[in-house]
């Protein structure tokens, strides 16, 4: 399957009637559902992410792992970024996730940027800023709406993402924790003297 997820549609031009300008932002070409999940066991530890993209009759899924120390929240963000990265054209993206951190963060992005990437009242630096900035770039390209899915509630694509992310995290743990046996040189056996 191709890395790019492309929906068939007719190209169109966005025209701003107020300013009389043609928009520099590409016209939206379709509606896709993006299901995401991240996993990290232990948290922090090695992690995994997964997404499923569904648009029209097309569906694609992917997962991956982080072998370095990471957190569940970073894996949740990575899943969304990796899914959005596959979209070739600007789309209406309905993002389904069980992560309140990801969903609420999408709503807070503008405030964080306006405040110099500081949180509300405490004015502490926003955690995972590097990933939020990447996500913000995709948010500017796509029209993203957040839909919360209750974890482990039997939702088919959410359960699939959960399974793929958990498998990726487990594989990462096995890779990191695998230690080949030491390369011992065998000494030649000594002959006994009689």
Q: Compute the distance between CA of residue 88 and CA of residue 80 in angstroms, rounded to an integer.
A: 15
pLDDT at 106: 94
Q: Compute the distance between CA of residue 149 and CA of residue 74 in angstroms, rounded to an integer.
A: 19
Going through 71-181 in order, the beta strands assigned E by DSSP cover 92-97, 143-148
pTM: 0.78
Task: Provide the CB-side half-sphere exposure for 154 (13 A, CA).
Answer: 0
- The residue among 159 and 23 whose pLDDT is bigger is 159
- Per-residue pLDDT band for 11 (boundaries 50, 70, 90) equals very low
Residue 162: is its pLDDT beyond 50? Answer: yes
Domain 15-151+169-177 in CATH 3.30.420.10? The answer is yes
Give the residues across from 61 on adjacent strands: 52
Q: Are 98 and 147 in contact (CB under 8 A)?
A: no
Q: Residues in the chain, how many?
A: 194
- The residue among 177 and 48 whose pLDDT is bigger is 48
For 185-191, what is the mean pLDDT?
Answer: 62
Q: Compute the distance between CA of residue 139 and CA of residue 105 in angstroms, rounded to an integer.
A: 12
Residue 96: is its pLDDT beyond 50? Answer: yes
pLDDT at 12: 37
For 39-53, what is the mean pLDDT?
Answer: 93
Enumerate the active-site residues. Answer: 37-38, 76, 98, 152, 162
Q: Compute the distance between CA of residue 106 and CA of residue 54 in angstroms, rounded to an integer.
A: 21
Strand ranges of the sheet holding 143-148, from the earlier edge strand across to the other edge? 58-70, 45-55, 31-40, 92-97, 143-148
Residue 192: is its pLDDT beyond 90? Answer: no
- The residue among 154 and 11 whose pLDDT is bigger is 154
pLDDT at 4: 58
* Domain residue ranges of the chain, discontinuous segments joined by +: 15-151+169-177
What is the average pLDDT score of the chain?
Answer: 83
Tokens of residue 148, six digits = 């919360």
pLDDT at 128: 97
pLDDT at 67: 87
pLDDT at 15: 44
pLDDT at 22: 45
Whole-number percent of the chain with pLDDT over 90? 62
For 156-177, what is the mean pLDDT?
Answer: 89
């Amino acid at each position: 399957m191709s890395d790019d997820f492309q929906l068939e549609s007719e190209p169109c031009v966005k025209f701003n009637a107020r300013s009389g300008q043609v928009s520099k932002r590409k016209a939206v070409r379709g509606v896709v559902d993006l299901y995401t999940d991240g996993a990290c066991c232990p948290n922090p530890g090695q992690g995994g992410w997964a997404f499923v993209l569904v648009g029209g009759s097309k569906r694609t899924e992917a997962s991956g792992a982080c072998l370095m120390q990471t957190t569940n929240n970073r894996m949740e963000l990575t899943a969304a970024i990796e899914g959005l990265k596959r979209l070739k054209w600007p789309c209406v993206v309905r993002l389904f996730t069980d992560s309140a951190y990801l969903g609420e963060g999408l709503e807070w992005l503008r405030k964080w940027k306006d405040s110099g990437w500081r949180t509300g009242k405490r004015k502490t630096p926003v955690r995972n800023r590097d990933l939020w900035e990447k996500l913000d770039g995709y948010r500017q390209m796509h029209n993203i709406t957040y839909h919360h899915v209750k974890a482990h509630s039997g939702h088919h694509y959410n359960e699939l993402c959960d399974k793929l992310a958990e498998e990726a995290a487990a594989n990462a743990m096995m890779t990191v924790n695998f230690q080949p046996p030491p390369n011992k040189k065998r000494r030649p056996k000594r002959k006994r003297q009689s």
